[in-house]
Amino acid sequence: MTTYVLRRLVLMVPVAFLVTVGVFMLIHLTPGDPALIILGEDRSPQAIAQIHQELGLDKPLYVQYVIWIDNVVHGDWGRSITTHEPVAGAITERLPATIELGVVALIWSLLVAIPLGTIAAVRRGSVVDKLATGIAVAGVSVPNFFIGIVLIFVLSVSARLFPFGGYVPFFQDPWESLRHVALPAIALGTAGTAINMRFTRSSMIEVLGLDYIRTARAKGASWRRVVFIHALKNALIPVVTIVGLQIGGIIEGAVVTETVFTWPGVGRLAVESIFNRDYTVVQGVVLLAAFSYMVANLVVDLVYGWLDPRISYA
Amino acid sequence: MAFSHLLELENVHTELSLAEGTLRAVDGVSLTIDAGETLGIVGESGSGKSMTALSIMRLLPRSGRIVEGSIRFKDRVLSDLSEDEMEAIRGTEMAMIFQDPMTSLNPVYRTGWQVGEPLRIHRHVGSGEAIATATDLFRQVGIPDARSRVRHFPHMLSGGMRQRAMIAMGLSMSPSLLIADEPTTALDVTIQAQILDLLRRLNREYGTATILITHNLGVVAGMCDRVIVMYAGRIVEQGRTEDVFSHPEHPYTWSLLRSIPRLDAEPHEPLTPIEGSPPDMVHLPAGCKFQPRCPFAVARCSREEPSLLQVRDQLARCWVTQAGTELNG
């Protein structure tokens, strides 16, 4: 198991290399010279050349890359072009809000999707099944910013059940924190909920038709035991794959959701930085997103092994 | 003597609703089995033998339904029981083992856990005791190195060992009836013999009545006191194994016996396959269902369906033998 994790980490190196090259190149290929933004009105060629020299932009691209990657590895993610704050610091400051949003969104989506998908599978063709299918189609089709706006309007502005906007750190006041994160998390998690529900349903239907389910019935196991103990663990194996892929989607969706809910997370930082052409910050955020995705996939593979003993880590 | 049989099926009809239409998978089956007895049910795939077994266990697929007849087990009519009462019987008083040990065990739980599960469900024992019992059962069914095998997942065991584990699971609550549905079909020939030996030994030692469902007549000859031959959901012949094998009274049984390769046959002596193909269960022919494939058919066979009546030492559903003609050729 330990060797497996180590091997996976080693295998991540080439992926990480490609990711960093991609991030580095993307920014350099984007039109717009950061020197012009820093200088504003005073655009003498000398001043531009000086800025280029200060930022290392006059060096060949591969040298710039090596310098940049060396700094990144040592925790120096550069400074924001607009605020002159260290990028690493700006991201670390915003990260807890995004992590809380993402985790709550994921938990919410699984908490709804797995039971609903299971019930839909067990009682297929029933009212619950049809309702769940309808919700799923709607959940996938409606964009999350729209769900966000509707949630704000109905539950926050009209019903006043939830506060609108604002973030309270979880460890400062857990209850208030959850009240604040609820709406954005629901908005962010809904598309995933719908997909996870459909996957749980179809996977559950397939598993319930297998021979070992009949064996369990022949032992005198009740339906409840058959569904929750014998079938569910098997049915969740494909769902885990989908959840792994959704983690990327959550990072992506956080950009929109955080903007709609004025959530002070990394997603909004990314949006602000893109508008400001603050390319060092954009670089940092994209890099973080890519690495989160890689780590999430490793975690998913480890969960696989727990669910399915046929997968060996040897 | 009405309650003397362990299990008694009377005129059981089971229907399956499929996309092509509704079919009678089991059509008027009546049979009995007594404590300690071994009954063989033979027939081609689709003849209704597995559906008969699943009807007894009330484990029919979603599309299946018992539409007529009664199944009496000990002193209870199973169709009258609630699902909860039926669950209390399954695994305790009647157990079933299935054809394919590769797919009949849950891949994500340890075999010992699965074998001990009936005890946890029905006797509410703790997991330690369940595993200890599973280890004992593994030894009884001849799984070597039982203590470590109970900790293995199904995919780590060979097919023969998995079928032994299935048998151990079936026996965990000492049932009075064991239904084995093609228990050896998916196994290598040498392993088949071992599994049959095991079933025979357990039947002798524990007096467990056994219904052995198979398409292999050799298995029946070696194991069963009595045999039932099924065709198109019906019983076509029923009797003591030696009677049925020595002088079959239904042309289908007669053809089946002639289609078995024999070691004592003359070299190059051709096998005699049964002509035609198994019946289309949705559109069955009129009259005797075997008549289109029957070498002995007479005019009456395609008009009227015969009943299952006494012919010499056994029961047979055939106009020809009921009229006194002997099958030979």
- Cα separation values, A235 from A116, A308, B190, Å: 13, 10, 35
DSSP secondary structure string for all residues of B270-318: PP-PPSS----SSSPPSS-TTGGG-TT--GGGGTSPPP-EEETTEEE--
Q: Enter the ipTM.
A: 0.88
What CATH number should be reported for the domain holding residue A269? 1.10.3720.10
Q: Which two tokens stand for residue B244?
A: 């049925």
Residue B30, pLDDT > 90, answer: yes
Residue B225, pLDDT > 80, answer: yes
Is there a domain that residue A80 lies in? no
Provide the pLDDT for residue A215.
95
Is there a domain that residue A2 lies in? no
Say how many CA atoms lie within 13 Å of A233 toward its Cβ. Answer: 16
Is there a domain that residue A27 lies in? yes
DSSP secondary structure string for all residues of A175-195: HHHHHHHHHHHHHHHHHHHHH
Whats the size of chain B, residue-wise? 329
The packing angle between helices A232-260 and A87-122, to 10°, is: 140
Tell me: do A181 and A277 sit in the same domain: yes
Mean pLDDT of B213-218: 90
Q: Which two tokens stand for residue B260?
A: 């078995």
Provide the pLDDT for residue B162.
93
- Torsions phi, psi for B204 (to 5 deg): -70, -45
Residue A51 belongs to what domain range? 11-73
Residues of B in contact with A215 (CB under 8 A): 98, 104-106, 166, 169
Distance CA A221, CA A226 (A): 6
Residues of A in contact with B95 (CB under 8 A): 218-219
Distance CA B18, CA A281 (A): 62
CB B199, CB B40: distance < 8 Å: no
Closest CB from A223, A230, A307 relative to B106: A230
Looking at per-residue pLDDT, the higher value among A303 and B210 belongs to B210
Between chains, do B98 and A211 touch, taking CB under 8 Å as contact? yes
**Does A12 contact chain B (CB < 8 Å)?**
no
Question: How many helices, marked H, and strands, marked E, lie in chain B?
Answer: 11, 12
pLDDT confidence tier of residue A113, bands split at 50, 70 and 90:
very high
Query: Which of A267, A270, A271 is CA-nearest to residue A253?
Result: A267
Q: Which residues of B63-100 are buried (b: 16+ CB within 10 A; e: fewer)?
A: ebebeebebbbbeeebeebeeeebbbbbbbbbbbbbbb
Is there a domain that residue A4 lies in? no
Is there a domain that residue A113 lies in? yes
Residues of B in contact with A234 (CB under 8 A): 106-108
pTM of the shown model: 0.82
What domains sit in chain B, N to C, each tagged with a CATH number?
Answer: 7-224 (3.40.50.300), 234-322 (no CATH)
Mean pLDDT of B173-193: 89
Is there a domain that residue A302 lies in? yes
Tell me: do A44 and A122 sit in the same domain: no
Distance CA A177, CA B210 (A): 64
Mean pLDDT of B98-111: 92
Between chains, do A220 and B105 touch, taking CB under 8 Å as contact? no
CB pairs under 8 A between A and B: 72
Mean pLDDT of chain A: 87
Distance CA B44, CA B286 (A): 20
Tell me: do A157 and A198 sit in the same domain: yes
Distance CA B137, CA A131 (A): 47
H or E element that contains B21: strand B21-33
Tell me: do A199 and A57 sit in the same domain: no
Tell me: do A113 and A48 sit in the same domain: no
pLDDT confidence tier of residue A283, bands split at 50, 70 and 90:
confident
CA distance A292 to chain B (A): 29
Is there a domain that residue A153 lies in? yes
Mean pLDDT of B42-59: 92
Between chains, do B153 and A310 touch, taking CB under 8 Å as contact? yes
**Does B104 contact chain A (CB < 8 Å)?**
yes
Cβ-based neighbours of A47, under 8 Å, separated by 6 or more: A35, A39
List pLDDT tens digits, range B295-329. Answer: 999 999 999 999 999 999 999 999 999 998 888 75
Tell me: do A43 and A183 sit in the same domain: no
Is there a domain that residue A292 lies in? yes
**Does A220 contact chain B (CB < 8 Å)?**
yes
Last residue of a domain, one of A49, A73, A97: A73
Provide the pLDDT for residue B192.
86
Indicate the Cα dihedral angle B111, B114, B118, B120, nearest 10°. Answer: 100
Tell me: do A97 and A67 sit in the same domain: no
Q: Identify the three-state secondary structure at position A265.
A: coil
**Does A306 contact chain B (CB < 8 Å)?**
no
List pLDDT tens digits, range B57-78. Answer: 999 988 999 999 999 999 899 9
pLDDT confidence tier of residue B258, bands split at 50, 70 and 90:
confident
Tell me: do A180 and A105 sit in the same domain: yes
**Does A124 contact chain B (CB < 8 Å)?**
no
Between chains, do A220 and B103 touch, taking CB under 8 Å as contact? no
CA distance B295 to chain A (A): 38
Distance CA A280, CA A86 (A): 9
Closest CB from B89, B90, B103 relative to A210: B103
Closest CB from A217, A220, A309 relative to B108: A309
Q: To probe the interface with B, which of A206, A207, A212, A215 has the most B CB atoms within 10 Å?
A: A215
Mean pLDDT of chain B: 91
Tell me: do A30 and A162 sit in the same domain: no
Tell me: do A98 and A123 sit in the same domain: yes
Closest CB from B57, B107, B121 relative to A310: B107
Q: What percentage of chain B exceeds 70 in pLDDT?
A: 99
Distance CA B221, CA B240 (A): 10
pLDDT confidence tier of residue A158, bands split at 50, 70 and 90:
confident
**Does A233 contact chain B (CB < 8 Å)?**
yes
Query: Which of B83, B91, B88, B31 is CA-nearest to residue B58?
Result: B83
Provide the pLDDT for residue A314.
56
Provide the pLDDT for residue B3.
54
**Does A224 contact chain B (CB < 8 Å)?**
no
Q: Which two tokens stand for residue A262?
A: 């004025």
Q: Name the residue of chain A whose CA is nearest to B110's CA.
A: A309
The total of other beta-carbon atoms located within 10 Å of residue A310's CB is 14
Q: What percentage of chain A exceeds 70 in pLDDT?
A: 99
Tell me: do A22 and A106 sit in the same domain: no
Distance CA B288, CA B286 (A): 7
Distance CA B131, CA B150 (A): 7
Question: How many helices, marked H, and strands, marked E, lie in chain A?
Answer: 13, 0
Provide the pLDDT for residue A313.
64
Mean pLDDT of A204-214: 94
Mean pLDDT of B7-30: 93
Report the number of distinct structural domains present in chain A: 2
Q: ∠ at Cα B66 (B61, B70), nearest 5°?
A: 135
Looking at per-residue pLDDT, the higher value among A36 and A167 belongs to A167
Residues of A in contact with B118 (CB under 8 A): 219-220
Indicate the Cα dihedral angle A58, A61, A66, A72, nearest 10°. Answer: 80
Tell me: do A68 and A103 sit in the same domain: no
Between chains, do B105 and A230 touch, taking CB under 8 Å as contact? no
- Cα separation values, B168 from A71, B39, B117, B154, B223, Å: 63, 20, 11, 14, 19
DSSP state of A43: -
Distance CA B26, CA B199 (A): 26
Between chains, do A309 and B107 touch, taking CB under 8 Å as contact? yes
